[in-house]
Structure formats: structure tokens, C-alpha cells
A and B are shown apart, each in its own frame.
Chain A
Amino acid sequence: MWLILTTLAAIITTLIWYLKDPKNEYKLGLLALIFWGAALMWFVDHVMAYLAEGGEFFEINADATLLGISVIIVALMVWEITLFISDPKGVFKKKITK
């Protein structure tokens, strides 16, 4: 389930980056890369596990869904910290210089 949710987040973030932030001012490109990187790695993990062990390709249950949501929260936290450090609007710089 976390593969599905991460891929969905990657598609949506890439679309928002393309439409709203093509100059990457708000680092949406980085967020898209984080999601795509994880989605590609989990895809390999799922394919190899499926080929080796068989069973269901997608694990769909409450725990897997909760993990998927938590993974998205972690990615958003990483992106937000990076965004605040780069401070494209200069909000923190203004506060510090005041």
C-alpha cells in the first residue's frame, strides 16, 4: 500500500511542480525527487519479493496504509525543513535582521 501511496504522491507533486513551481523556488522538485526515488526503490523491492516468494504484489491492510501515510508525512517534513533553511521568501532573514 505504501508503494501505491508514494507513487500517487510523486505524481501529484510532479504535476504541482510543473504547473506552479517550474523554477523550483519552493523546492517542489526536491519533494518530487524524494517521492520518485522511494517509489522506484519500493517497486524493485516489491517485484523481487513477488518473484522470490510469490503471494500478493500489493500489501493492502491498515498497517500498510498507515505506513504509507507516515512515509508521506516524513517526506513533507524533510521538504519543509529544506524549504525553511533555503528561505526563498526571506521570512526568517527579515525576522533575524529586525
Chain B
Amino acid sequence: MACFIVPVGEAIVTTVIQKVVEKKEKKYGMKIAKERVLNWSQRLRLLNGLLWGGSILLAFEHIWHGEVVPWPPFLTAMKNPAAVGPMLHEMATIGVGMAVFVTLVWAVIMTVVELSATSMSEVNIEYTKEGS
């Protein structure tokens, strides 16, 4: 019905956060720490890509199924007062589930990338010690 609105909301928030973080990183000349692969603005850009990309395609699917229309009130469920309740329930369950799942997958990927980079840099330090 309108489950994609929840990831869209999260995408708006994370995009604003990413822009603010990016500005701060530029202002203070923050560079990526030696043991880090990505700085925070780059990490948030990946999350934004997942959220915006997914939301756009989901919005298209809703248009396909006639649940979203290009004229007010845009959501067909809003026309019928009896359908508003189920729509809000769907947003609270499936919509929130989607947003949480995408964020969890992103967090796991970022953790794995950073952990593997840290272990690689430790291996390099070991090699350097042995070599010197």
C-alpha cells in the first residue's frame, strides 16, 4: 500500500546526515584513518544508495499495482477511510521491517569490510617487522 514511504523517510534523514558529515570532513580536512577503508560520508553514501534505489523501484511497483497515483491524495488507500488503518499497519510492520533490514545488511557489510581491512593492515605490519 505505502510501505516504501518508511525507507524514503529514512533515506531523507540519512542523506541530510551524510551532507552534514561530508561538509565537516571537508572543513576540518579529515582524511581516512590508516586502518579505515571508508570515511563516514562514504559509508553513508552506500546506505543512501540502497535506500533511495530500493524506494524508487518499490514506488514504481506500487504505481504498477495502482496503489500510488500521480494525482492527490497520491495513495489510493487514502480515498477510503476504512483502508487508512491497514495502510498505517503495513507501514509500521513491512515498511519499518524493510528499513531496519536494509540498515542491518549495510551495517554488517561495513563491519566485515572494516574488520578485514584491519586484519590486512596487521598482516602488513607483521611482514614489515619481519622484513626489517
Contact = CB atoms under 8 A, between A and B. Distances in A.
A71 B59 CA distance: 10
Given A41-B4, A67-B64, A34 B94 contact: no
A67 B56 CA distance: 14
A45 B102 CA distance: 12
Given A40-B102, A45-B3, A74-B60, A33 B50 contact: yes
Interface residues of A, number: 25
A75 B50 CA distance: 12
Given A45-B3, A45-B94, A45-B98, A40 B60 contact: no
Interface size class, chain B: 20 to 34
Contacts of B56: 34, 38, 74-75, 78
A48 B97 contact: yes
A36 B94 contact: no
A48 to B, nearest CB: 5
A88 B108 CA distance: 31
B55 to A, nearest CB: 7
Contacts, number: 78
A20 to B, nearest CB: 19
B9 interface: no
A62 B64 CA distance: 14
Interface of A: 2, 6, 29-30, 33-45, 48-49, 67, 70-71, 74-75, 78
28 contacts: A2-B61, A30-B53, A33-B49, A34-B52, A34-B53, A34-B54, A34-B56, A34-B57, A36-B53, A37-B50, A37-B52, A37-B53, A37-B54, A37-B102, A40-B50, A40-B98, A41-B4, A41-B55, A41-B98, A41-B101, A41-B102, A42-B61, A43-B101, A44-B94, A44-B101, A45-B94, A67-B61, A75-B56
